[in-house]
Structure 1
Amino acid sequence: MSEIRRRRQRVEVQRNRAALVSAAVRVLAERPEASMAEIASMAGVTRQTAYVHFGTREALLASVHDELSRRAFAVLEAADLEAGTAPEALGRFLTATGTLLAEQAAFGHSDSAPEADASRHVPIEQRLEDLIHRGRDSGEFTTALETSWLVAAVIALGHAADHQIRVGRMDAQGAAKQFRSTVMHLCGAEDPDRLL
């Protein structure tokens, strides 16, 4: 097989995988129980092609969660946590997180290994830890809680807000509001937007 043909096959494989993940994100947001055949049809490939690339629906779902994590990190990056005061930056982080809670509520919990979920949080945890240190150094965050505990608490509160939305106890806006208020309080920060 020629190098050109191998290159074309690699490009096609990448294109098919990307199309399947993109289609899965769209379809599963509306119908979480959608089959591989429905997702493949939306991606413009056959069901067999979907199974060749992912093997199982669970493997495709793991790739969907990876893609959602990538998108989440991009949204948080756009919040520009280095700009402005620490409370303003934390407010942008929490607003971005509230948006993500609303967008991702339809996807259910990841069935991936806990290690995979933990690794998805690492870049977010690092950004949050840096922000908390900055707020402490400037005196804008007055909490006595340890930074590592605060980071873990913020992640856990994000999961709690997500759970409240998924089980129908709160709508996304209400959960995001409670999440924001609680995190600001934990950090000992004055909320520049005073949502509550």
Structure 2
Amino acid sequence: MSEIRRRRQRVEVGRNRAALVMAAIRTLAERPEASMAEIASAAGVARQTAHVHFGTREALLAAVRDELSRRAIDVLDAADLEAGTATQALGRFLDAAGTLLAEQVASSHADTDMEEEADRHLPVEQRLEALIRRGRDSGEFATDLETGWLVAATIALGHAADHQIRIGRLETQVAANQFRTSVMRLYGVNDPDHAR
């Protein structure tokens, strides 16, 4: 087999794998119980191709969680948490988290190992801890709650918003707004841009 043909095959394999992950994100957000065959169809590939790349639905869901974690970090990095005041940075953080809520629904239906889930949250927790310290140092965050508790509570509120979306009690934008308002209040921040 020629080198050119091998390269083409590697590109095709990568393209199929990426298409399956993207299709899984979209499909599972709408139908959490979707099968591998349905996801493969949405990706425009055969069911056998999905099984060749991932073997099991659980392996595909793990790839979905990895992709969503990568995207979450990209979105949070784009929020530039170092710029402006701590309050402005917190607002950008919460807006970024709100944009991720709809996508995260796709990864929240599978049983996930608690340690694996904690590892996925670590980069978010680190950014949030630094932001909380900055807000405290500047006097913008008026709370006596411990930093670790604020981080855990923020993540728990994000999960609560996700749950409300999944069970159909709140639209995504409403849940994102409730999440933002709740976290701002938890941190003791007046949020004039989103006063309700």
- Output the TM-score relative to the length of structure 2: 0.88
CA contact (8 A) 2:32 2:109 kept: no
In the alignment, residue 187 of structure 2 is paired with which amino acid?
Answer: C
Unaligned 5+ segments in structure 1 are none
Identity of aligned residues (%): 75
Q: Which residue of 2 aligns with 1:13?
A: 13
Q: How far 1:106 sits from its partner (Å)?
A: 5.3
In the alignment, residue 122 of structure 2 is paired with which amino acid?
Answer: V
Residues in 1 aligned to 2:103 and 2:3: alpha-carbon distance in whole angstroms: 42
Q: For residues 25-174 of structure 1, what are the structure 2 equivalents within 5 Å?
A: 25-105=25-105, 108-174=108-174
How well do the aligned residues superpose, as a CA RMSD in angstroms? 2.1
Corresponding residue pairs, total: 196
Q: How far 1:10 sits from its partner (Å)?
A: 3.9
In the alignment, residue 60 of structure 1 is paired with which amino acid?
Answer: L
CA contact (8 A) 1:106 1:166 kept: no
Q: Secondary structure at the residue paired with 1:129?
A: helix
With over 3 angstroms needed to count, the CA separation of the structure-2 counterparts of 1:23 and 1:102, relative to structure 1, is closer
Q: Secondary structure at the residue paired with 2:37?
A: helix
CA contact (8 A) 2:87 2:189 kept: yes
Q: How far 1:90 sits from its partner (Å)?
A: 0.4
CA contact (8 A) 1:65 1:110 kept: no
Unaligned 5+ segments in structure 2 are none
Deviations along 1:66-102, one digit per CA (max 9) or x if unpaired, are 2122112222221111111111110111111122123
CA contact (8 A) 1:129 1:148 kept: yes
Q: How far 1:7 sits from its partner (Å)?
A: 5.1
Residues in 1 aligned to 2:41 and 2:175: alpha-carbon distance in whole angstroms: 35
CA contact (8 A) 1:87 1:140 kept: yes
Pair 1:175 & 2:175 matched? yes
